[in-house]
């Protein structure tokens, strides 16, 4: 086992554990911090898979923007943060067991599927074709419509969050 494989396995385990803690932690601020660790692990996994562009995008967009937006939202709603609940949600073992069983079934299906290896062999030698990726994002026949829909959806969510926060501030003041 090479050093890169060891790093990949360690980061994958940390990422899975932090992802589990995102949903198992009862305090929302702790969940947001676990989410940042999970997203950082995904960025490191992208780096180990030689997809540096996606690793940088993961850090800038998800950790630098989305996670910080979540933390700001939690800080603006102090009532939610002041809840005194136990640290971990009880009864989490059943969904975790179901997730492990589902993962095992999917892994078994992928291992026995003949076309899966053929799909892996068709991957390009240069996995990071940024020109092709950029062209696909802005090409009318590509992904320009889903890209624009996602940006409008995020903008609407941001405007809605600002409106709700301002409305509560006016009622309190």
The enclosing domain of 8 has a CATH number of 1.20.120.1200
In a domain, 68, yes or no: yes
In a domain, 11, yes or no: yes
Q: Are residues 77 and 154 in the same domain?
A: no
User: Strand, helix or coil at 25?
Assistant: strand
In a domain, 159, yes or no: yes
- Does 41 have pLDDT greater than 90? yes
Please write the tens of the pLDDT for every residue from 149-167: 889 998 998 898 888 877 7
- Does 120 have pLDDT greater than 70? no
Q: Give pLDDT, residue 116.
A: 66
The stretch 108-120 carries a mean pLDDT of: 72
Please write the tens of the pLDDT for every residue from 15-36: 999 998 998 888 888 999 999 9
Q: Are 61 and 125 in contact (CB under 8 A)?
A: no
Residue 69: pLDDT band with limits 50, 70, 90: confident
- The larger pLDDT score, comparing residue 85 to residue 74, is at 74
Q: Give pLDDT, residue 80.
A: 54
Q: Which domain holds residue 143?
A: 133-173
Q: Give pLDDT, residue 145.
A: 84
In a domain, 91, yes or no: no
pTM given for the model: 0.62
- Does 172 have pLDDT greater than 70? no
Q: Are 35 and 67 in contact (CB under 8 A)?
A: yes
d(C-alpha 157, C-alpha 153), whole Å: 6
> How many independent structural domains does the chain possess?
2
The stretch 140-149 carries a mean pLDDT of: 83
Q: Who's near 69: CB < 8 A, 6+ residues apart?
A: 158
In a domain, 62, yes or no: yes
d(C-alpha 15, C-alpha 103), whole Å: 16
Q: Are residues 3 and 77 in the same domain?
A: yes
In the block, residue with structure tokens 């690793």: 55
């Amino acid at each position: 086992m090479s050093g890169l494989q060891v790093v990949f396995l360690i980061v994958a385990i940390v990422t899975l554990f932090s992802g589990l803690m995102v949903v198992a932690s009862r305090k929302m601020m702790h969940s947001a911090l676990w989410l940042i660790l999970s997203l950082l692990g995904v960025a490191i996994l992208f780096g180990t898979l030689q997809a540096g562009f996606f690793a940088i995008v993961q850090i800038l967009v998800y950790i630098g923007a989305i996670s910080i937006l979540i933390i700001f939202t939690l800080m603006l709603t102090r009532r939610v943060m002041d809840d005194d609940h136990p640290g971990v949600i009880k009864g989490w073992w059943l969904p975790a067991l179901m997730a492990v069983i589902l993962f095992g079934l999917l892994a078994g299906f992928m291992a026995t599927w003949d076309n899966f290896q053929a799909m892996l062999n068709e991957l390009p030698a240069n996995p990071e074709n940024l020109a092709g990726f950029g062209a696909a994002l802005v090409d009318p026949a590509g992904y320009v419509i889903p890209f624009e829909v996602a940006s409008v959806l995020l903008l609407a969510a941001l405007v809605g969050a600002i409106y709700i926060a301002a409305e509560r501030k006016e009622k309190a003041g």
